[in-house]
A and B are shown apart, each in its own frame.
Chain A
C-alpha cells in the first residue's frame, strides 16, 4: 500500500507509468508530451523514461490522433490518446463516435483505447469549458469516467488500461493540483462503481468530479445545523452505478443532484429519471436538480460564478427538502 500524498494529475502519471512498466503495448500519443509532459504535467517524465516510441508527440490533428489510436488498438496495442482539452474532441467526433464506439458491435473487434482530456468548467471562456460527458455517455460503446480524487484517478486509469473497450477519461481542471492519498500498484477502481464519499441519513447529494468537492463542502455546512448528508460520487458516468444511487435514495428519501452542465440533456436529469423510474416510492420529496443554465461558459470570473452551481445552492436545496420533514 502506497499512501503518499500525491496530486490529481501526478496520480494519472503514476497510474499510467505503472501500467506502461507492466505492459509494453501501452503508448501515449498527444501534443507537447515528450519534453513538457503535457499541458497539465499528466505525462511528466514519461518521455525520457520510455522513449519516443512510447511517448509520441503529434501535430494538432485530433482526427488523426484518434484514428491512429483506433487502428492501433484494433492491432492489439493499448494507445492512450491525450486530447489536452476535451473541447478539442469535436475535431475527432467521427473517429470517436462512428469508429471507436462501433467496431466491437459491427465486427466483434475490441478497441482498447483510452482517450484522456482535461474537462470541467473553470476559466478560459466558452470554447474551453464544454461539459461533454453526456455527449459521450449517450454514444453506445463508450465508457466515460470523471474521477474526483487522486486515488480514483490512479485506480480508474489502471482499470481503463486493462479494459477491452474505449474509455473517455475526463479530468477536471479545478482538481489538477488537488492532493490526496493514492492506492498502490495493485489497487484498481472498477469502471462503473460509484463511491459513497460521506455517510448520512437525512438527504442524498449526488454529483461527480469537481461537483463532489462542492457536495462535500455543502455536507460539512449542513452538518453544523444537524443535517447529515449521504454524498454519492458517481466517478463513472457510463456505465452508471445505479445501485449505489438507489441505495442512497432508499436510505434518505430526499435527493439533491448537482451538475455543472447545462440542464437540458444533463447527467442530473438522467439520474433523476432513473430515480423516478426505480425508487419513486422511496422519495419523500421531489428531486432537487441543480445545474447550469442553457448557456456557454463566459470568460469573466464574475459571470462564471453566476452560472456554476455553488455550495450555497446545494445547502439551500438540501435545507428546503429537510425542512418539510
Chain B
C-alpha cells in the first residue's frame, strides 16, 4: 500500500459477479473432492482416513481470495479445502491421500500434512493449534527479512482451548507481527460440543482480551469472509499488526471419515445443510442477481466432476515411492559416519 494513502483507504475491490461465479466453482470443486475422498476412504483406498471439510468451503475460498499467492497459509488436520483454495493441484493432493510418490509430499505426509512452498502453503498440521505456530514463525520471518508477506494460521474451536494458540496470539501482538489467526469454529472438538467445555462469551471475545482486532464472521458467507479477511490483510500489510477472526461454520460430515456420530442431532445437521450451506447460499445469491444461468451452474458441476475424476485416476495410476527411501532425508546428520578429532 502506498504510504501516502490514508489509513482508512480500502485496499481491495469487491469481486464482480463473474468472479463470484468462479469462486462458486472453486467451492464446488472442494465439495466434490471431499465427497469423493470421503467415499474412497470408506472403501479403504485412502490409508488412515481423512477429516472432510464439507460445509466449510467458504472459509477457505473467501480467505484465500483476500491473500496474495506469496502470503503464507498454515492449516490444521482438516485442511483439504485450504490446500485446494490455495491452488494446490487436486491430482497431487489426492495422490498424497493415497500415499503415492506423485503426492505433494511424496506420500510422507498424507491428509494432514499437505504443503507446497511455491504456492505459500506451509503445511496443514496434525497437531491441534500447530499450524498457527508455523504461521507465527512465518510472520516473524517475513518481518525479519523485510518481506511484504503476511501469514494466516487456521485452527478450530478445539485449538482455541489449547494453551499454545494463546501463546502464539500474544507473541504476535507483542511483536506486531503480520499474522492473521483464524478459528474455524465448527462447534465440535472431535465429538465434544465446544460450548460445553469452553469458558467465556466466545472465542473472538477471548481473543480480544489479547489486544488485537477480533471479530466473529459468518463462516457460511464467502463474501463476509472475504471482507473480514481483507480488512485484516490490510492491517497486517500496513504494519499495524495481527488480527483474529472467528469463522462460525459447521462440518456436515463427522470429525473423520467413517465416524459413527451420535453427538449431534439429525435436526441440527439438517438445519445447517438445508439453510446454511455456503454453496447453496452463494448459488442462490448469484441466481437471484441473474448472474448464474442454469447451464453455467451445470458447467461448474461438470468441471468439478471431471477434475475430481481426473485426480482420482491420477492417484490410482501413480506409484508408491521406493520403499528403500522411507528413511531418507531425515536430517543432514543421519548418514554421518563419525570421526574423532
Contacts and interface: CB of A to CB of B under 8 A. Distances in A.
Instruction: Determine the main DSSP class of A at the interface with B.
Output: mixed
A76 B138 CA distance: 10
Nearest to B110: A106
Contacts of B136: 64, 67-68, 71
Chain A contact-residue range equals 35 or more
A180 to B, nearest CB: 16
Interface residues of B, number: 48
B171 A64 contact: yes
A196 interface: yes
A76 B141 contact: yes
Nearest to A140: B330
A94 B341 contact: no
A194 B339 CA distance: 7
B16 interface: no
A62 B141 CA distance: 18
A77 B109 contact: no
Interface stretch (B126-134, B268-276, B308-316): B126-134
B113 to A, nearest CB: 5
A120 B195 CA distance: 44
A232 B337 CA distance: 17
Interface stretch (B30-38, B83-91, B162-170, B255-263): B162-170
A27 B142 CA distance: 13
A244 interface: yes
B117 A109 contact: yes
A300 interface: no
A141 B330 contact: yes
A192 B125 CA distance: 31
A165 interface: yes
A27 B144 contact: yes
Interface string B139-169: 1111011010001000000000001100110
Contact of A105 (B137, B171, B330): B330
Given A61-B167, A71-B122, A105 B108 contact: yes
A172 B128 CA distance: 34
Interface string A47-79: 000000100101101011111111111111100
A238 interface: yes
Interface string A250-268: 0000000000000000000
B178 to A, nearest CB: 12
B341 to A, nearest CB: 5
Given A71-B122, A106-B123, A77 B144 contact: yes
Interface string B38-77: 0000000000000000000000000000000000001000
B130 A75 contact: no
B127 to A, nearest CB: 5
Most buried by B among A61, A98, A194: A61
B288 interface: no
Contacts of B130: 94-95, 98-99
Interface of A: 25, 27, 53, 56, 58-59, 61, 63-77, 94-95, 98-99, 103-109, 140-143, 163-165, 189-196, 232, 238-244, 247
Given A104-B331, A106-B108, A140-B331, 10 more contacts: A63-B163, A64-B133, A68-B137, A69-B137, A71-B122, A74-B134, A106-B109, A107-B105, A141-B331, A244-B339
